[in-house]
Structures are given as C-alpha cells and as structure tokens.
Structure 1
Amino acid sequence: MSGVAPMQAIAGLEPADLRWRIDVDVLVVEFRGRRHTPAHMAGCWRAVQGLAAERGLVKVLAIDLMDDDPLTGEQRAAFIRQLGMDVFAGRRWAYVARSVDRVGAYEATQLDAQEQGLDARVFSSLAEAELWVRFPG
C-alpha cells in the first residue's frame, strides 16, 4: 500500500476534471478534461486557490493533463482579465506543462505573475517543479 493520498475531485467544473490531494504541505492538483472558455478556466483556478486557502496551504503544484490546447492570444488575455493576478498572491505556484512544446504557451502568464511580484513558475519536468515548490530559496 502506498503512502500517497488518493486524489479527490473538485465538483462543478465540467468539462474540466480537477483532482487534488495534499502531499505533506503541498496542494497537488491535476487539470484534466477540457478548458472550455477563458471564463471557465479562470473559475477553475479560483477553485484551486479557494481549496488552498481553506486548507491553509501556501504551496500549489498544478499538473496539466488537459485534452485540448492551451489558451493563447486573445483567449489568454481574456483569461488573465477574468482571473486577475491577485489569485496567485500569497502562494507559491508551480505549473507542470503537459509537454515541453507547451511550456511556451504558459510562460507569458508566468511573466505576468512575476512582474507583479508573485511566486509562480512553469516547468516541463514534474521532478523540477516538485523541488522548486517544496524548497523555496
């Protein structure tokens, strides 16, 4: 039997399927399913932020396993407008892109967050993301 906690679903976010667990002091969230719209994805990220806040967790490891393509261009701009960067405040966010070729699609959001002094970073490697989110400094 593994010591890893089972994943739990965050309800009401269809067509996305977000599953989460707590691993020591890190909220681990897998993003599956589809993105649908920028507003929908903003709601998904707000749900993750709310979950972290409810549990008093400041470290979040988000893993992209989505079936569709990342938001880009105007979709990404609409997502940022609807989400607001303040959702990332007070937490350390590591985001693992589904594949190396998708990292670039998320880097603009990372830069937006970092320009506002927020602690967010995109990775192509789960191992690197885990080290970064767990061991700040």
Structure 2
Amino acid sequence: MSQTDDAPESPYRLHFEQRPNYLYAVVSGPEDSLEITLAYWREIAVECLTRRATRVLVVDELGGTPMPPEQIAELVKNMQGSGMESVQVAFVEPVMAHVPLMEHGEIFAMESGFNARVFSSVNEAERWLRFGGN
C-alpha cells in the first residue's frame, strides 16, 4: 500500500532489515497506543509471512508509556490467527522501567500459543533467538 500526498502521516515508523537467521524490525514514533501497536504488529505479521521468517526481533522505540495489561491482553487476542504463532518473537523494550509491564505481554502471548520473550537489550534477544526458545 503506498501513501499519497493526501494521506495522513503514519503515527509510527517501522523499519525492517533481514539479518542472518532472523528478521530485525524497529518501530519508532512519539507515542504508543493499542491502535498503533496493533497496526505495527499486523505489518510485522505480513512481513514475516512474505519473507517466510520464522524468527523476528522487534525493538520498541515508541515514546510514552506502554499499554496497561488489559490492552496488552487485547492485542494478543487480536493477533491470534495472524500466523505469528509459528514465529519466534524477541521483543526489546530498551526502557528498563517498562520491562516488567511488557512481561505481562510475554505471559499473555505464551498462554495464547505464541513463542515470545521480552528483553531489555538487543544482545540478549539475539542470543535467545540463536540458542534457545524453540
């Protein structure tokens, strides 16, 4: 889908890079919300399907505070059936204070059949994608 001059600017930016053995994605923007998060995860799901990626590392560089647990649970529910259940997902939350809240998402995801983990650094996430978690 291409953006025209009349189209509103997206509230986030999503960049993909193919790395050895996994897809790397960085999402950035001024704020986070359920709508924004659902939109970028849907894009990631399509990209994983298109590239036949079985592993993805997602770095969250969105501003603001993370969603509350109820919205994280809603996000996970909305992603069921997207194909992401067969993708190993390493999610990097670089703001250490936000990691415990994002771990709720990890629990909801695992309970819903996703193979996902939350990390505070890219190095930890890469190590898990390479050596553990299948």
State the TM-score, normalizing by the size of structure 2. Answer: 0.82
Deviations along 1:17-68, one digit per CA (max 9) or x if unpaired, are 1111000121100110044531232121010011011011110000011122
The 5 A counterparts of 1:114-133 are 114-133=110-129
Map of 2:107 onto structure 1: 111
Map of 2:58 onto structure 1: 62
Amino acid in the other structure paired with 1:28: Y
Question: Is the 8 Å Cα contact of residues 14 and 28 (structure 2) preserved in structure 1?
Answer: yes
Q: Which runs of 5+ in 2 are unaligned?
A: 4-8
Deviations along 1:69-100, one digit per CA (max 9) or x if unpaired, are 1111444344344x233433100000010221
The 5 A counterparts of 1:1-137 are 14-35=10-31, 37-81=33-77, 83-87=78-82, 88-136=84-132
Label 1:98 to 1:11 Cα distance change in 2 as closer, same or farther (>3 A).
farther
**Distance in 1, Cα, partners of 2:80 & 2:49:** 16
The 3-state SS of whatever aligns with 2:118 is: strand
RMSD: 2.3
Report the alpha carbon displacement of residue 136 of structure 1 after superposing the two structures with TM.
3.1
Aligned sequence identity (%): 27
Question: Is the 8 Å Cα contact of residues 59 and 134 (structure 1) preserved in structure 2?
Answer: no
Question: Is the 8 Å Cα contact of residues 35 and 41 (structure 1) preserved in structure 2?
Answer: no
Q: More displaced, 50-59 or 65-74?
A: 65-74
**Distance in 2, Cα, partners of 1:41 & 1:91:** 18
Amino acid in the other structure paired with 1:44: Y
